[in-house]
Amino acid sequence: MLSTVIPVYNEAESLEQLFAELCEVATTHGYELDVIFVDDGSTDGSWAKIVELAGRDSRVRGIRFRRNFGKAAALNAGFAAVRGEHAMTLDADLQDDPHEIPNFLAKINSGLDVVSGWKQTRHDPWHKVLPSRVFNGMVSWLTGVKLHDHNCGMKCYRREVLGEVHMYGELHRFVPVLAAARGFKIGEHVVQHRARKFGHSKFGVERLIKGFLDLLTVKFLTTYGRRPMHPLGTIAAIAAVWGVGQYGCRALVEVLWTSGRTPLISSADEQLTSAVYLASSSTSDLVTLYFWLVVSLLFFLTGLLAELIVATRGPNRDIFSIAETVGHTSDRSTS
């Protein structure tokens, strides 16, 4: 059985053709097809189309979110409903070609856990392609998961991976990184990419800054997600040592300076000036010391809170809300 998870956000015009192509591939290659459409709060009649397809064909199931929760949440909800041994994700806009599915399965069967698509020749405008190249380079370099196209909508997963990778927000761009961090084997496969036929892209230029911030989150999550006190506590210790060290050095210099100067101070005036200077300089030194100690304390307390969260985090981390489902959905998707 081959499950396909398809996030849908205002793609009504594409669904009929997409389903027809999926059926054609399944028939040709003898797959038992399981199509899961996740309607991520569409307002264009996508859900009506999904209901129609599910009514016509029992291989189609649909999940409708109450509002738009994002592609990552849609994929998560779809993953929870997967019945097949393998799951293929595809974008709903017909940019991903279902005829590539057999190639993905062949790679998975060669011993990989996740096969990510690589849109080597892209049919998108340059202002999408260029930033995407830079982004992919950065992700590969920073995370060590070397893929040309982390954000390709077309990916194939072994079922075990799905239960372990939790996405939210726009973390769908990092599924291979999150999976690799759990020890799964990742590979890639060059896919034919098609131009968008209907509708428009749902991701604008703001995805650049979001993608970069998410990259930092993912780097932190995959490296220190289970031990946040290590980096935060280290910063706390550095701040404390820096503050105390600086204060100690200044105090030492001042003691040496005054002990050298005292015999030379003769008049009461000079003594007063020197005392005022020392008092004001030691006050500012103290303020600096307190500053670094407070910084240190903040990092330490944040680390403690983070550890508490990690230690007591409940099992239910879903952040979407399902309004209704259609087709023979399994209990896993509706619970």
Task: Please report, as ranges, the residues that interact with ligand UDP according to CB under 6 A.
Answer: 7-9, 11, 40, 68, 70-71, 74, 91-93, 95, 153, 201-203
Nearer to ligand UDP, 42 or 296 (CB): 42
Nearer to ligand UDP, 8 or 218 (CB): 8
| From candidates 4, 42, 46, 95, binder to Mg ion by CB under 5 A | 95
Find the part of the chain contacting Mg ion (CB under 5 A) among 86-94, 165-173, 225-233, 258-266. 86-94
Task: Check if the beta carbon of residue 72 is closer than 8 Å to that of residue 168.
Answer: yes
When asked if residue 93 is in the footprint of Mg ion (CB under 5 A), the reply is yes
DSSP for residue 96: B
Task: Check if the beta carbon of residue 121 is closer than 8 Å to that of residue 37.
Answer: no
C-alpha 62/C-alpha 157 separation (Å) is 20
- Per DSSP, the residues of 155-205 read EEEEHHHHTT----TTGGGGHHHHHHHTT--EEEEE--B----SS--S--T
Q: Where are the alpha helices (DSSP H) in 82-120?
A: 101-109
Task: Check if the beta carbon of residue 211 is closer than 8 Å to that of residue 170.
Answer: yes
Shortest separation between residue 124's beta carbon and Mg ion, angstroms: 8
Residue 331: strand, helix, or coil = helix
Shortest separation between residue 153's beta carbon and ligand UDP, angstroms: 5
C-alpha 59/C-alpha 303 separation (Å) is 48
Residue 21: strand, helix, or coil = helix
Nearer to ligand UDP, 91 or 214 (CB): 91
C-alpha 327/C-alpha 335 separation (Å) is 15
Shortest separation between residue 8's beta carbon and ligand UDP, angstroms: 5
Find the part of the chain contacting Mg ion (CB under 5 A) among 75-83, 95-103, 142-150, 243-251. 95-103
Shortest separation between residue 128's beta carbon and ligand UDP, angstroms: 7
Nearer to Mg ion, 93 or 113 (CB): 93
Shortest separation between residue 56's beta carbon and ligand UDP, angstroms: 21
When asked if residue 143 is in the footprint of Mg ion (CB under 5 A), the reply is no
Out of ligand UDP, Mg ion, none, which partner does residue 92 contact, by CB within 5 to 8 A per kind? ligand UDP
Task: Check if the beta carbon of residue 123 is closer than 8 Å to that of residue 195.
Answer: yes
Half-sphere CA count of 222, side-chain side, radius 13 A: 26
Nearer to ligand UDP, 8 or 54 (CB): 8
Nearer to Mg ion, 40 or 91 (CB): 91
DSSP for residue 245: H
CB atoms within 10 A of CB 166: 14
Shortest separation between residue 316's beta carbon and Mg ion, angstroms: 31
When asked if residue 40 is in the footprint of Mg ion (CB under 5 A), the reply is no
Shortest separation between residue 137's beta carbon and Mg ion, angstroms: 21
C-alpha 155/C-alpha 319 separation (Å) is 22
Out of ligand UDP, Mg ion, none, which partner does residue 203 contact, by CB within 5 to 8 A per kind? ligand UDP
Out of Mg ion, ligand UDP, none, which partner does residue 11 contact, by CB within 5 to 8 A per kind? ligand UDP
Out of ligand UDP, Mg ion, none, which partner does residue 40 contact, by CB within 5 to 8 A per kind? ligand UDP
Nearer to ligand UDP, 12 or 177 (CB): 12
Between the alpha carbon of residue 37 and those of residues 54, 78, 137, 270, 273, the distances in Å are 10, 7, 31, 85, 80
In the chain, the N- to C-terminal Cα span, in Å, equals: 23
Shortest separation between residue 39's beta carbon and ligand UDP, angstroms: 8
Residues that bind Mg ion (CB under 5 A): 91, 93, 95
